[in-house]
Every structure is written in structure tokens, then in C-alpha cells.
């Protein structure tokens, strides 16, 4: 559908509006970053949280939801997409779906709840593929996820765009150097799931007693990690901390650990913890992945702030941590490189520019940035 005429008579005089269509009411970090990007472009955000996903288009009509310039279905809300698409088509408004993950991928390959070739898995695949293909644009967080949407879900390449997740810069900003300590401090935080590979970190920690290791969070693999380190004095486990405290926790560490899982999904994602650590100016050790921009994967840590290791390889983690510890005097420079990497590839400015490119693809130029923002 060509949306070149959508509200074109109004856009030079009014603030463009995006209709945020989500039944869940939950607000994820990804969503907050995107919403801020819209606002920085001068857009207003109208909320629509229907009572039921399947009949939400009828509810929107009964409630007299005003016609926006764009409908946005945020992350994890595939179940809201069909009704949103029906309503958007009736009102001749483009719709963008920002799923962040594939429900089919998660149920089949991550949670192993469905067998890939089973009838139920195939129904889920067809359902999700249809939802993606009936959206005007599908957002991926990395190039690898974009390729997955194209190859596995059959989404037309012209409909897929990439916007990095980034970090909430009001919380995650450059942190001062940590207070000096005798031993280098390495930190991992997460939900202790297979994608993150925390067991490989625990195996590495057991063999590097000259470094202090901190694990923050809880999840299915936490007990296994505790068993691996056998109550070692140089390893500390801390329960989940408030989200608002994460930046200061990152700031207290010398090096942050990303993910080390061996799954195909682990190879496609850049986790929140990596964005957040880089935004705080902390070096990151994580599994090598084509999800990261190619220039980063060919630079030394002193120039990128990133140390790459093989997935599922605790020996590589050991080597990476020990290399950092041996050259601890260079950590300020590596930290500067980490912050520069964030600014160059993942910052809120990059998110805003990527969003602006998506809007230019499906909307008249005068809609993309409102008069208020200009």
C-alpha cells in the first residue's frame, strides 16, 4: 500500500501521532527507548490498551480511537498485531511491528516446547509469518535477526528494517572509574538462562581466583552456577537488584560479561546488558557474533572496548579475563573505547536516526519530523 497521501494535508500544521497498540500495558526498555526517539522527533504518542487482543479493532472503533499517522505494535505483542492490522487497513494508516523476538523461534528452539516439524509448530510458524508479512514494516534489532525474519519467516526484504535496542541513557550513562582495589572486578547480571550461558562463566570463575567475580540475578541456571564454583571466596552471588541500581553496579566493576550461549538465537542478539555496559563506559567480554557491526569484530579491545570469545568456551573466558587483569593499567583507555563504541553504533541518537529512516520509508517527508521538533 502506498501511504504517500496519509494525512498529508494536516502534517505541516499538526503534530504527528503514533498510536501505541498494546494490550499488555508492560513497558520494556526497548519500548521506552523507541518512545523517546519518537518524542525527540516531535511525535505525540497515543496509547491504546484493548481489553482483548483478538477483537481490539472493534473496541478501537467503539471507543472512537482517533486516526493517527502511524500504528506501532511494540515488542512481544504479536498477538495484538492482527486486530491492529485490520484497524489500520480500514483507516488507511501504515503499521509497524517491532516484535524483538520470534514467538516460533522461542517456543521451538529456545524453550523446546514444540517440536520443529510438529503440526502445532508449523501452525505457529504460519501464523507469525502472516502477521509479519501483513505489517508495513517489521523491525529487527540486529542484522542477524533481520536475516532470520527474511529466511525463516519469509518476510519480504523491503519490509524489514533494523533499529538497535540501545540503552536508557537517563539511567545508563558514563560512570566514573571504580574505586581502586587489589583484584580486578568482573560482573555478570542476568536471568540465568541458557541463551546467556552463565554456567560457562561460573566454570571460568573457578579457575581465576586472582579476580573477584560477581553474579547478579536469578533464574533456572543459578543453582548450577553456585554448584560449579563451590562457594569460592572470590565469587559473590547477589539476588536481583532494582533496575535503577544497575548503572551504579556496572560502574563499580572493571569489566562486564555479556552472553556465551551456543544457540542460534544467542548468535543473533545483542543483549541489553551489553548496550548498558558500553553506555556506562565499561569493557565487555562476550561471545563473538555477527550481530555486532563488522568493524567491531575486527578491532582489538583497546580500540573497541570489546573482547570476543567462542560461544560456550569457558577457557576463552578465562583467557579474556586474565588478559584484562594483566593489562589492568590500560582499562581506562579500554573503557573510553567502550563508550565510543556505544556512541558510534548503539546510542539513542543512532536509534533516532534509524527510526527516522523507517518513517521516511512509509510516510510523507513532512510527517517524519514535526514542526515542533524542527
Task: Determine the 3-state secondary structure of 306 from DSSP.
Answer: strand
Which residues on neighbouring strands pair with residue 256, listed in sequence order? 187, 284
* Per-residue confidence (pLDDT) for residue 180, from 0 to 100: 87
Q: d(Cα 322, Cα 334) in Å, to the nearest integer?
A: 15
Q: Where are the domains of the chain?
A: 17-166+348-368, 185-345
Q: Topology of 185-345 in CATH?
A: Rossmann fold (3.40.50)
pTM, rounded to two decimals: 0.93
Please state the φ and ψ torsions of residue 138, each to the nearest 5 degrees: -115, 130
- Produce one character per residue of 67-90: b if its CB has 16 or more CB atoms within 10 Å, e if not: bbbbbbbbbbbbbbbbbbbbbbee
The pLDDT, as a whole number, for residue 367 is 76
Whole-number pLDDT of residue 6? 36
In percent, the amount of the chain with pLDDT more than 90 equals 91
Report whether 174 contacts 339 (CB < 8 A).
yes
**Entry field: residues in the chain:** 374
Mean confidence (pLDDT) of the chain: 94
Grid coordinates representing 355? Answer: 527510526
Amino acid 366: pLDDT:
62
Q: How do residues 295-334 score in pLDDT, each as one tens digit? A: 999 999 999 999 999 999 999 999 999 999 999 999 999 9
Please report the DSSP string for 280-296 in residue order: TT--EEEE--TTS-HHH
pLDDT in tens, 224-254: 999 999 999 999 999 999 999 999 999 999 9
CATH, domain range 17-166+348-368: 3.40.50.2000
* φ, ψ (nearest 5 deg) of residue 50: -70, 160
Four-residue CA torsion sign, 307, 310, 311, 317? negative
Please enumerate, as own/partner, the contacts of 85-88 that have beta carbons within 8 Å and a separation of 24 or more: 85/131, 85/134, 85/135, 86/57, 87/56, 87/57, 87/60, 87/61
Amino acid at each position: 500500500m502506498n501511504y504517500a497521501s496519509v494525512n498529508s494535508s494536516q502534517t505541516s500544521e499538526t503534530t504527528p501521532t503514533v498510536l501505541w497498540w498494546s494490550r499488555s500495558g508492560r513497558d520494556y526498555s526497548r519500548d521506552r527507548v523507541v518512545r523517546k526517539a519518537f518524542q525527540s522527533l516531535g511525535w505525540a504518542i497515543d496509547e491504546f490498551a484493548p481489553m482483548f487482543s483478538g477483537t481490539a479493532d472493534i473496541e478501537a472503533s467503539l471507543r472512537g480511537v482517533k486516526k493517527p499517522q502511524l500504528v506501532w505494535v511494540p515488542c512481544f505483542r504479536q498477538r495484538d498485531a492482527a486486530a491492529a492490522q485490520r484497524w489500520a487497513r480500514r483507516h488507511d494508516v501504515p503499521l509497524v511491528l517491532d516484535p524483538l523476538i520470534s514467538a516460533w523461534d522461542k517456543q521451538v528452539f529456545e524453550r523446546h516446547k514444540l517440536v520443529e516439524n510438529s503440526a502445532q509448530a508449523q501452525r505457529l510458524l504460519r501464523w507469525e509469518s502472516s502477521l509479519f508479512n501483513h505489517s508495513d514494516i517489521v523491525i529487527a534489532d540486529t542484522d542477524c535477526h533481520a536475516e532470520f525474519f527474511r529466511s525463516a519467516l519469509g518476510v519480504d526484504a523491503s519490509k524489514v528494517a533494523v533499529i538497535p535496542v540501545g540503552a536508557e541513557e537517563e539511567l545508563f550513562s558514563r560512570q566514573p572509574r571504580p574505586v581502586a582495589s587489589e583484584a580486578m572486578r568482573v560482573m555478570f547480571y542476568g536471568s540465568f538462562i541458557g541463551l546467556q550461558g552463565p554456567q560457562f562463566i561460573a566454570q571460568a570463575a573457578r579457575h581465576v581466583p586472582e579476580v573477584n567475580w560477581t553474579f547478579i540475578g536469578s533464574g533456572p541456571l543459578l543453582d548450577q552456577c553456585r554448584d560449579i564454583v563451590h562457594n569460592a571466596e572470590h565469587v559473590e552471588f547477589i539476588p536481583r537488584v532494582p533496575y535503577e541500581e544497575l548503572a551504579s553496579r556496572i560502574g563499580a566493576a572493571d569489566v562486564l560479561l555479556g552472553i556465551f550461549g551456543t544457540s542460534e538465537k544467542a548468535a543473533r542478539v545483542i543483549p541489553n546488558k551489553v548496550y548498558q555496559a558500553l553506555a556506562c563506559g565499561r569493557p565487555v567480554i562476550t561471545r563473538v557474533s555477527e550481530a555486532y557491526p563488522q568493524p567491531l569484530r575486527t578491532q582489538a579491545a583497546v580500540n573497541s572496548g570489546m573482547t570476543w570469545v567462542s560461544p560456550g568456551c569457558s577457557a576463552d573466558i578465562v583467557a579474556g579475563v586474565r588478559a584484562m587483569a594483566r593489562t589492568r593499567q590500560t582499562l581506562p583507555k579500554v573503557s573510553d573505547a567502550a563508550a565510543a563504541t556505544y556512541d558510534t553504533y548503539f546510542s539513542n541518537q543512532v536509534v533516532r536516526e534509524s527510526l527516522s529512516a523507517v518513517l521516511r520509508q512509509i510516510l510523507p517527508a513532512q510527517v517524519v519530523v514535526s514542526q515542533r521538533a524542527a
